[in-house]
Chains A and B, each alone.
Chain A
Amino acid sequence: MTIDRRTLLKAVGAAPAAALPWSGARAQGAANTIKIGVLTDMSGTYRDIAGPTSAACVRQAVQDFGSRGGLTIEVVSADHQNKPDVGSNVARQWFDRDGVDMIVDVPTSSVGLAVAGVAREKNKAYVNSTSATADLTGSACSPNTVHWTYDTWMLAKSTGGAMVKAGGDTWFFVTADYAFGHALERDTANFVRAAGGKVNGQVRTPFPGTSDFSSFLVQAQASRAKVIGLANAGVDTINSIKQAAEFGLTRRGVKLAALLMFINDVHGLGLQAAQGLVCTETFYWDLNDRTRAFTNKVRGSLNGNMPAMSHAGCYAGTLHYLKAVADMGVAAAKASGAEAVARMKAMPTDDDCFGQGSIRPDGRKIHPAYLFEVKKPEESKGPWDYYKLLQTTAAEEAFRPVAEGGCALVRS
């Protein structure tokens, strides 16, 4: 009895495609019903910084919005598996067949960009919270897109700028090899060079599927750069930081710049390994009374997870979209996603997570950016008490100026 090698290989190759989790009701949207689709990573690296917690935050927004304007609101969710083709297929089905009016969340920049294209083509609203690429409001901006929470330019300026100011003037990048990593590396390198620093080199690591970064870290060390910029996210960042400590990089004075790190990553690393790292978020649960109130409200439905800025963006973006829909009328909002987004831009924003703010013509939501340092184990008062606030960048300064983004919507 022997197995046919070809059969085995075919089956192994086909296996991932069989793993297509799915959720979502199939009814067409009724006239006064607004349907929101949470398109996210339910099963991969970004599950904890998006995933079920994003869906729970969207549901919280629906609950907090209440029955204003006589709206009936439905929420569906699906897993895009971090694959642009899967993401745009789900988006198409949702818009064409299931009557979804707005898509929210969408981590993974390559998927985020693909879905932006679909939303524009179908004229639906798109509130992206969790993709990082600044191209969503730059070269790929769209009248249907709002980019809520953060982007690569903002991270580069806040974290990268602070590192250069502290004397880290030579850099080496360990970059996740897809749209997000490239954008984050590009934006950070620009800041480093503008501040008189130098980029000694970079290495592009396959995404997803890289778990051993030691080889790349040793290359980074060989470049003699003072700072290793981690242009990656999620488990990739965790593994990089863990292994950098293992190989003694940090003990020999090399600084790590975790250009995108969420509180959930710090939790996964443990304070022992993460202490002293700096990172930038636009929301922290323990920032002020309003953020604590939001966290207390939503915490029970998160299965032990803590909301990060990405989740807060899903909450706030959904709430603001619903306010705009109530303001313009359901029929008009359903008829044109671009009109709904235009109304969102015209109205000032106000929510527990980000306070008061606004959305710029290029689709960029602006609010302050906070540079945090991860606490030492002895400084932390309990689980999830992880951040010390180092510096706040005002909303107007935190994001790339409209004129520099190259967005076609704002060209005169």
Chain B
Amino acid sequence: MEDLFGIPAPLLFGQVLLGLINGAFYAMLSLGLAVIFGLLNIVNMAHGALFMMGAFVAWLLLDKLGLGYWWALLLSPFIVGAFGVLLEKLFISRLYKLDHLYGLLLTFGLALVIEGVFRNEFGSSGLPYRIPPELSGSWDLDFMFLPIYRAWVVIFALVACLATWLVIEKTRLGAYLRAATENAPLVQAFGVNVPRMVTLTYGAGVALAALGGVLAAPIYSVNPQMGSNLIIVVFAVVVIGGMGSILGAVLTGFGLGIVEGMTKVFYPEASATVIFVIMVIVLLARPAGLFGRA
């Protein structure tokens, strides 16, 4: 067996792959954050809580209605997205004219409330959610065992990221959205209902988070903290990628997943910190982030 940096090569390949899988979650979440920030200028601290809600809705659909994984993949983003629309209408829309910090505080408060409600209702040990039978099992790749479900997560996340990017960059709707962020009154003067568009954009960003939650449910314990464990890392990803940059969020998400995976082999104790170290370095060298415009 060949060694690379003192680690058997197969083990290293395995870790790159695992990093890519975690990166898929980072990418999906930071994508939603980037869309919301780019178009609404809201730092959505509730994103982790909404990711968690996505997973819980999947569990509730199965437990209460007997609807399995595939239904959850379809319904949960809609349900949680609708909840997001409600949040935007009731609370967030009132803050667009104020300083960013108000949006940050409000969404952070909302996250605490949502997590608190779920914690009270369901406790903290989490709930079991099984991998759908169609995707259970694993492939033997020689250098490691790859669960089919994890491969599915990577592919699905890539498709979702690509689709979002295409909608925003290549369609008329996307053009309206981008125009509205530059100059909302002007776009409104052309007869586009900007407030509704902004509301739906928030809903869509939230739906992406919920989709991530459904994907995560069979892998992680479905518990109220699952979002808060992830959200701070995802914010770092967005900052490193460049605030509001969609391509940046996706590429940085996957890239940092790999960096984190490597750290877990060479110095596991630092695996929770390495992303923040990178963030510091990037901010010193490129204050607008890797893909951001200063």
Contacts and interface: CB of A to CB of B under 8 A. Distances in A.
A213 to B, nearest CB: 10
A214 B149 CA distance: 13
A91 B219 CA distance: 38
B7 to A, nearest CB: 9
A294 to B, nearest CB: 20
A206 B116 CA distance: 24
Interface stretch (B154-162, B204-212, B247-255, B263-271): B263-271
A206 B271 contact: yes
Given A8-B100, A8-B104, A235-B125, A246 B225 contact: no
Given A8-B43, A44-B225, A215-B18, A269 B128 contact: yes
Contacts of B230: 211
A216 interface: yes
A402 interface: no
Q: Chain B at the A interface: mostly helix, strand, loop or mixed?
A: helix
A335 B123 CA distance: 38
B261 interface: yes
A219 interface: yes
Contacts of B177: none
Interface string B228-250: 01101001000100010000000
A400 interface: no
Interface string A1-28: 1111101110110010011000000000
A242 B217 CA distance: 11
Interface in B89-137: 100-101, 104-105, 108, 112, 116, 119-120, 123-128, 130-131
A348 interface: no
B136 to A, nearest CB: 8
B119 A43 contact: yes
B269 A177 contact: yes
B33 to A, nearest CB: 11
Contacts of A214: 18, 21, 150
A72 interface: no
Contact of A48 (B11, B123, B235): B123
Q: Which of A1, A214, A248, A269 has the most CB of B within 10 A?
A: A214
Interface in A328-387: none
B34 to A, nearest CB: 13
Contacts of A105: none
A236 to B, nearest CB: 9
Interface in A232-247: 234-235, 238-239, 242-243, 246-247
B45 A246 contact: no
Given A3-B41, A235-B124, A242 B232 contact: no
A218 B124 contact: no
Contacts of A44: 124, 225
B168 to A, nearest CB: 19
A212 B147 CA distance: 14
A185 B100 CA distance: 46
B272 A47 contact: no
Q: Which of A1, A235, A303 has the most CB of B within 10 A?
A: A235
B76 interface: no
B239 A8 contact: yes
A1 to B, nearest CB: 5
B269 A204 contact: yes
A312 B69 CA distance: 38
B223 interface: yes
Contact of B229 (A47, A211, A218, A305): A211
Nearest to B130: A272
Nearest to A10: B101
Contacts of B199: none
B29 interface: no
Contacts of B41: 1-3
Contacts of A273: 128, 130
Contacts of A267: 125
Given A212-B220, A215-B18, A218-B18, 12 more contacts: A8-B104, A15-B108, A47-B125, A205-B268, A210-B271, A235-B225, A246-B131, A247-B145, A267-B125, A268-B223, A270-B128, A272-B128
10 contacts: A12-B232, A45-B124, A51-B124, A214-B18, A215-B261, A216-B268, A219-B265, A235-B221, A268-B127, A303-B120
